[in-house]
Copies of this chain bind each other. A is one copy, B any other.
């Protein structure tokens, strides 16, 4: 079965998931992101996307991710349109495929798609005639640019991914971030990936082959090189009987004492937005081991790299 992300010439045509991309392609994307970062810091960002049009199609609100994609595209010279779903034809009964075809007929080159249902970006990619589709998060399935920016941030601080011990803690079951991180980490040779959270929020072990899955954060964090904390949605917590915010923080929050169980030079990551005092203590979020703002900064460059890869023919 061929990968719908890859065209007949072996080029990346869409970015739907990191799953199956493989080490050479991932490494090339990370290298390109790092090179664009160097260019930006030297004030010589090339207008790689001049004349190109990128459409943001966000069916779930996410100002953070949308803004990151928008800045990435515009700083490379693209024209960006934020398509307002609420007042769009889709809300007037038009099919999503017709909305895509209409926008593509306006000479759009790329669609950045976020949707609460798994598979919507892939479904749109299957309909696109010429344009590229970039998955900006679908359901709990994938958030590939978040995965790339996390890989870049880890590589920046650790010099490698190979052999690292990475602990991901929180609502792993519903997390597209965790899935994309694991796909990327596994492809780049992370030695020990540990998924941790309340048992009701843990995925089936079969879904994450090769990962350790458990509900004991103290055990999971021991000796970790990288600790990735996931956002705990308040609505989700209400579905967990007998677990309030204080309990959650006590068992799954990252404070200084717990972080001391990881390697001394361990880095702390979070995809944002953070719930301070629920999944992470303020002193850790703002502490010397936190690379959370570096993640945000890298997000721009990871997205630039993907856009450049997909749109530079």
**Beta-carbon contact of B53 and A89 below 8 Å:** no
**Beta-carbon contact of B71 and A102 below 8 Å:** no
268-302 of chain A: CB within 8 A of chain B: 272-276, 293-294, 296-297, 299-300
Cα A88 to Cα B86 in complex, Å, equals: 15
Does residue A160 face the partner (Cβ distance < 8 Å to B)?
no
Does residue A67 face the partner (Cβ distance < 8 Å to B)?
yes
Does residue A81 face the partner (Cβ distance < 8 Å to B)?
yes
Q: Chain A interface: which size bin?
A: 35 or more
The number of times this chain is found in the oligomer is 3
- Residue from A40, A63, A81, A106 having most chain B Cβ neighbours under 10 A: A63
**Beta-carbon contact of A61 and B43 below 8 Å:** no
**Beta-carbon contact of A89 and B107 below 8 Å:** no
140-187 of chain A: CB within 8 A of chain B: none
Interface of A toward B, CB cutoff 8 Å: 40, 43, 51, 53, 61-64, 67-68, 70-71, 74-75, 79, 81, 83-84, 86-89, 92-95, 98-99, 101-103, 105-107, 234, 272-276, 293-294, 296-297, 299-300
